[in-house]
Structure 1
């Protein structure tokens, strides 16, 4: 059974990741809406080819944003699988891993987070460091970019 401090830390890390993803989602959706409005408001000018080229470029941008939106939604689904109440003895999705080099929250790639006056790196299990940490236990060692890293604690 996890204690309240552990649950609080994991919950805050989770909420920080969630806020980052919601901000990205909002940015992409806003840009898609703006592009759609631009596309809808454009009228045919006397320079027909120029108009069609502009529309094609806007359409390509929309497609690119659509792919980014799909990726963000997929990442949000991964985040939703994390149970912040559970603790574990091995590093896996949702684990907070304390090492002699850095602290990691294995969830999504969201970068550096500061919680409880400590720095954590939110990483995906698919990142190189995430792959090295997955399945490891307290006391295990890994080597990342030539640096030896010892796992001190996992929650």
Structure 2
């Protein structure tokens, strides 16, 4: 396996694990809320009971929305092919610039892979939109900072 393919696979796997961890956390929260709702039903009646149920219902709805977002992000990640390389920046590109290194995939924050730091960003982020479609030698202006694309894999 080439070092480029190895790097892209490691970045992809790290992003995948990031999403899986978020998914597990939200599913655990939903299960806990469901358990609380079930036990709330068995306990006292009255206004306090109704308020508690309403709060739990809101929490469950919020967790459900988070779950739906995570599923969308996971779908976006699944569209990336680690084997594909292109001279222009697109989904799945690893981008080296004079300021920082980026992995155009999902917003997962700073990742360290093979002793190098990368920012996993979504193509929908402000910096992702600026980088998308650019190539080696192109300059990008972001927040009064100009940097140049050095390498795209």
1:35: which partner in 2?
33
1:56: which partner in 2?
54
Matches within 5 A, 1:4-19: 4-19=2-17
Q: Give deviations 1:83-138, integer Å, cap 9, x for gaps.
A: 00111100010000100100000000000000111100000000000000000010
1:92: which partner in 2?
90
Question: What is the CA–CA distance in structure 2 between the aligned matches of 1:130 and 1:45, rounded to whole Å?
Answer: 52
Cα offset for 1:41? Answer: 1.4
Cα offset for 1:44? Answer: 4.2
User: 1:131 pairs with 125, 129, 132, which one?
Assistant: 129
* Consecutive unaligned residues in structure 2, runs of 5 or more: none
Question: What is the CA–CA distance in structure 1 between the aligned matches of 2:35 and 2:94, rounded to whole Å?
Answer: 43
Question: What is the CA–CA distance in structure 2 between the aligned matches of 1:82 and 1:13, rounded to whole Å?
Answer: 11
1:45: which partner in 2?
44
Question: What is the CA–CA distance in structure 1 between the aligned matches of 2:140 and 2:29, rounded to whole Å?
Answer: 42
Q: What is the TM-score of this pair, normalised by structure 2?
A: 0.97
Q: What is the TM-score of this pair, normalised by structure 1?
A: 0.96
* Consecutive unaligned residues in structure 1, runs of 5 or more: none
Report the count of equivalent residues: 152
2:112: which partner in 1?
114
1:147: which partner in 2?
145
Question: What is the CA–CA distance in structure 2 between the aligned matches of 1:63 and 1:5, rounded to whole Å?
Answer: 44
Q: CA RMSD in A?
A: 0.9
Secondary structure (helix, strand or coil) at the match of 2:103 reads: strand
Question: What is the CA–CA distance in structure 2 between the aligned matches of 1:28 and 1:5, rounded to whole Å?
Answer: 35
Cα offset for 1:72? Answer: 0.3
